[in-house]
Amino acid sequence: MINHGSGSFGALLKTLRTRANFTQQRLAEAVGMHRHAISRWEQGEVLPASKAIVLELARHLHLDDQEARHLLEASLTAPAPLWAVPFPRNLFFTGREDILEFLHTHLSTHQAVALTQSYALHGLGGVGKTQTALEYAYRHALWYRALFWIEAETNERALFSLQRIAEVLQLPERAATDQQQVVGAVQRCLATQAKEMALAHR
């Protein structure tokens, strides 16, 4: 059972929700959860499953950066996301704000849908698809439990990427000499996580 003290996530969430004149039902509908989930969080029975959910709560409650950070810290769900992105951020990246906003809106607001849908950046070579995807990953990293980059130029690069993901996930099969065994282990792990997230949003 989580401490019900003034610094607990549940107490803080209830205070912020009341201040924003949200009922539990209204807040639940806004973030795509069942009202029972909001009630259990406020009672201190459980914590949100991911930082993305906490940040979604902060967005709908119109919290400023400091308040959102406090809520995130109180949720005890603020470790760095699992990360397997092999490229550094482009510090000189500019533009593409419409694309970045579109992706963020669709991948965060409609979380249950985002679990089963994919979005693709397309266009001629050299127009900035890779840099846009990189900027999105770095800019919105805290919304996700994991960010994995799979290089698909060749089969060898794709297999290498999946091997890297297996290492990050610390899968038992990561040391297997059979590459297909590693691929299968990664696929099963990701499918299981997606199923758990989908159930959480029912």
Does residue 80 sit within a domain? no
Tell whether 29 and 65 lie within a shared domain. Answer: yes
Does residue 1 sit within a domain? no
Does residue 84 sit within a domain? no
What local confidence, expressed as pLDDT, does residue 1 receive? 29
Tell whether 13 and 65 lie within a shared domain. Answer: yes
**Does residue 135 come out as left (phi exceeding 0), alpha (psi in the -120 to 50 range) or beta?**
alpha
Predicted confidence (pLDDT) per residue in 150-190, tens digit: 998 899 999 999 999 999 888 888 888 888 899 999 989 88
* Domain total of the chain: 3
Tell whether 135 and 177 lie within a shared domain. Answer: no
Task: List the domain range (segments joined by +) for residue 187.
Answer: 150-202
Are 165 and 184 a contacting pair, CB within 8 Å?
A: no
CATH number at residue 33: 1.10.260.40
Tell whether 122 and 160 lie within a shared domain. Answer: no
Does residue 81 sit within a domain? no
Domain end marker among 127, 143, 159:
143
Predicted confidence (pLDDT) per residue in 89-107, tens digit: 888 888 889 998 888 887 7
Tell whether 139 and 157 lie within a shared domain. Answer: no
What local confidence, expressed as pLDDT, does residue 6 receive? 40
**Long-range CB contacts (< 8 A, 24+ apart) of 178-181?**
none
SS3 for 52?
helix
Does residue 22 sit within a domain? yes
Q: What are phi and psi of 147, to 5 degrees?
A: -130, 115
pTM for the whole structure: 0.57
